[in-house]
Structures are given as structure tokens and as C-alpha cells.
């Protein structure tokens, strides 16, 4: 295994972009380079956060107001950071997370129209502004990811993924804006084409960290 500082990488994207497939592929590629890697997810990644995950993703869309939803995500993330991510980094491991703050910025800040500043304020309190060293956002053309998601699960989804097209278009645009606002950290990655080609593009965006 390689020695050196732990690094925190998050993988992001809207519905149907192939994030689950690429999380596994990228994780394998990093491990094949001798990196001691922990993969985790949000909401979740610690016992407390996994319990909150069930509250967030189950039930109908009216179960939580946008503000309550944002608070639950922030609480889950605070526990995830404290109990899982920071200890792994302190031990010199890399952490690859399936979603982190940028999903809240895009989904609650953009899609639910709470605004990114409100979401960032919750993150500042709950997780002390802790951020990934690099955030990779898988992107498709607008509407394409939604069509892929519908084909994948026959239209069935969790209470957030199952929201309408206008919500997901707002999420897509919010992710794009994050890359404009924070270009050093947030990188957009083309999710079209063969799986291996997409994984190579992800690795290219980590080349300076490897």
C-alpha cells in the first residue's frame, strides 16, 4: 500500500448518470494503484447517519418540508464526518464518498430552492465547513439522466429521486454552477460512453493527487 496523507474524494451527479457503477469502478482502480481506500455513502456511512437515511429516503415526498430535509441531511453528514471520514483520513486512508455536501447544495439548495447559502450555513455548523479535496460530478445532457433513471427502475425511486423533471433540471444546473464557483475542487466529468472510458476520465481528474 502507498503511504502518505489520506485524501477525501466525493463522487456526485444527478439521477441516472451511472454513479453507482463508477463508484465501484473508480474504487477498484484506486485500490489497484496501491491506495488504502474506504468507500462510503451519503446519507449514511455511520450508524447514526444510516438511521437518518431511512427517514430521508422512505415515505412520500410530503414527509418532510425542504427545511426539515436539509436539517436531516446536515445531521447525518455531521455524524458521518465525525465517526467515519475524519478517523479514516487520520489513519492515512483515502475516502471515496458516494455524495457529500454538493448533493445538498444541488438538491436542497437548487432543486428545493432553499439557496446554497442556507445549506452552507448548516454545513458550517454541523461539519465545520469540512470539504472533499476533490469532487467529481458525473454529467449527462439535460433530461438524459432522468430518462436513464426511469428505464433503470421503471419509474420507481426513493422520495427524492422520484421528484419531477423540473426539480432534476434545477439539480443539474446547480451542479454546473458549483463547478463554475469552485473550479479547483469541483470537476465536471462526461458520463457518456463506455464504462471504462468514464472511469479513465475520473482518474484523469485525480492525476495531481495520485
Contacts of 40 (CB under 8 A, 6+ apart): 80, 84, 85, 95, 96, 97, 98
Apex 92 CA angle, 87 and 98, nearest 5: 65
Predicted pLDDT of residue 59: 87
pLDDT at 152: 47
CA 115 to CA 108: how far, in whole Å?
8
Strand order in the sheet with 94-98: 37-41, 94-98, 8-13, 134-139, 186-190
Contact call for residues 186 and 137 (beta carbons, < 8 A): yes
Per-residue model confidence as pLDDT tens for the chain (210 residues): 445 689 999 999 998 899 999 999 999 999 999 999 999 999 999 999 999 999 999 988 889 999 999 999 999 999 999 999 999 999 999 999 999 999 999 999 999 999 999 999 999 999 999 999 999 999 998 655 555 545 444 555 677 888 888 999 999 999 999 999 999 999 999 999 999 999 999 999 999 999
Is omega for the bond preceding 75 within 30 degrees of 0, making it cis?
no
Domains of the chain, earliest start first: 8-204 (3.40.50.300)
Q: In the prediction, which pLDDT does 54 show? A: 95
Note the pLDDT of residue 185.
98
CA nearest neighbour of 118 among 73, 67, 77, 61: 67
pTM greater than 0.85 (yes/no): yes
Quote the pLDDT of residue 161.
Answer: 82
- What is the phi/psi pair of residue 89, to 5°? -65, -40
Amino acid at each position: 500500500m502507498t503511504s502518505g496523507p489520506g485524501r477525501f474524494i466525493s463522487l456526485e451527479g444527478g439521477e441516472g448518470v451511472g454513479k453507482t457503477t463508477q463508484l465501484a469502478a473508480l474504487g477498484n482502480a484506486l485500490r489497484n494503484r496501491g491506495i488504502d481506500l474506504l468507500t462510503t455513502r451519503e446519507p449514511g456511512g455511520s450508524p447514526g447517519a444510516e438511521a437518518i437515511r431511512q427517514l430521508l429516503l422512505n415515505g412520500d415526498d410530503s414527509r418532510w418540508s425542504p427545511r426539515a430535509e436539509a436539517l436531516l441531511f446536515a445531521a447525518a453528514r455531521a455524524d458521518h464526518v465525525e465517526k467515519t471520514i475524519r478517523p479514516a483520513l487520520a489513519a492515512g486512508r483515502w475516502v471515496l464518498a458516494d455524495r457529500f455536501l454538493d448533493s445538498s447544495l444541488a438538491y436542497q439548495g437548487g432543486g428545493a430552492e432553499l439557496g446554497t447559502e442556507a445549506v452552507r450555513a448548516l454545513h458550517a455548523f454541523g461539519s465545520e465547513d469540512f470539504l472533499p479535496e476533490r469532487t467529481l460530478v458525473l454529467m449527462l445532457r439535460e433530461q438524459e439522466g432522468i430518462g436513464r433513471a426511469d428505464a433503470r427502475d421503471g419509474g420507481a425511486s426513493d422520495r427524492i429521486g422520484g421528484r419531477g423533471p423540473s426539480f432534476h433540471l434545477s439539480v443539474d444546473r446547480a451542479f454546473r454552477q458549483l463547478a463554475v464557483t469552485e473550479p479547483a475542487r469541483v470537476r465536471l466529468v462526461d458520463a457518456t460512453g463506455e464504462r471504462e472510458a468514464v472511469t479513465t476520465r475520473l482518474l484523469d481528474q485525480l492525476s495531481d493527487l495520485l
